[in-house]
Structure 1
Amino acid sequence: MKRVLLIVVSCSLLAANDLEQGLASWYGESFHGQRAASGEIYDMQQMTAAHRTLPFGTSVRVRRLDSGASVVVRINDRGPEPESRIIDLSRAAAQELGIVTPGVVPVALEVVKAPSANSKALYAVQVGTFRNFDNARRTRVLISQNYSARIVTHHGETDLWSVLAGECPTRLEAESLAGEIRAHVAGMRDAYVVRIETGASIDAD
Structure 2
Amino acid sequence: MAVLPLLLTGCASYQPVSDTPVRIGPAYTVRGVTYVPAQQPGYDEVGYASWYGNESGNRTARGEKFRAKGISAAHPTLPLPSYVEVTELGSGRTLLVRINDRGPFSRGRIIDLSRGAAQALGIRAAGQSAVRVRLVDPSEKDRKRLRKGKAASERRPLTGDALEAQRNRLPLPR
TM-score, length-scaled by structure 2: 0.53
Deviation at 1:84, TM superposition (A): 1.1
Query: Who is 1:102 aligned against?
Result: 126
Tell me whether 1:21 sits opposite 2:42 in the alignment: no
Structure 1 CA distance for aligned equivalents of residues 89 and 119 of structure 2: 16
Query: Who is 1:193 aligned against?
Result: none
Runs of 4+ with >2 A deviation = none
Unaligned runs of 5+ in 1: 1-16, 115-205
Aligned-pair identity in percent equals: 48
Q: Which has the larger radius of gyration?
A: 1
Where do residues 170-189 of structure 1 align in structure 2 (5 Å cutoff)? Answer: none
2:47 aligned partner, one-letter code: G
Aligned residues of 2:68 and 2:114 also touching (Cα < 8 A): yes
Where do residues 106-145 of structure 1 align in structure 2 (5 Å cutoff)? Answer: 106-113=130-137
1:46 aligned partner, one-letter code: G
Unaligned runs of 5+ in 2: 1-41, 139-174
Deviation at 1:95, TM superposition (A): 0.3
Query: Who is 1:6 aligned against?
Result: none
Query: Who is 2:102 aligned against?
Result: 78
Q: Decide which of 61, 64, 71 is 1:40's aligned counterpart.
A: 64
Query: Who is 1:58 aligned against?
Result: 82
Higher fraction of strand: 1
Q: Deviation per CA, 1:38-57: give whole Å up to 9, x if none.
A: 11110012110000011112
How many equivalent pairs are there? 97
- RMSD (CA atoms): 1.5
Deviation at 1:18, TM superposition (A): 6.4
Query: Who is 1:49 aligned against?
Result: 73
2:85 aligned partner, one-letter code: R
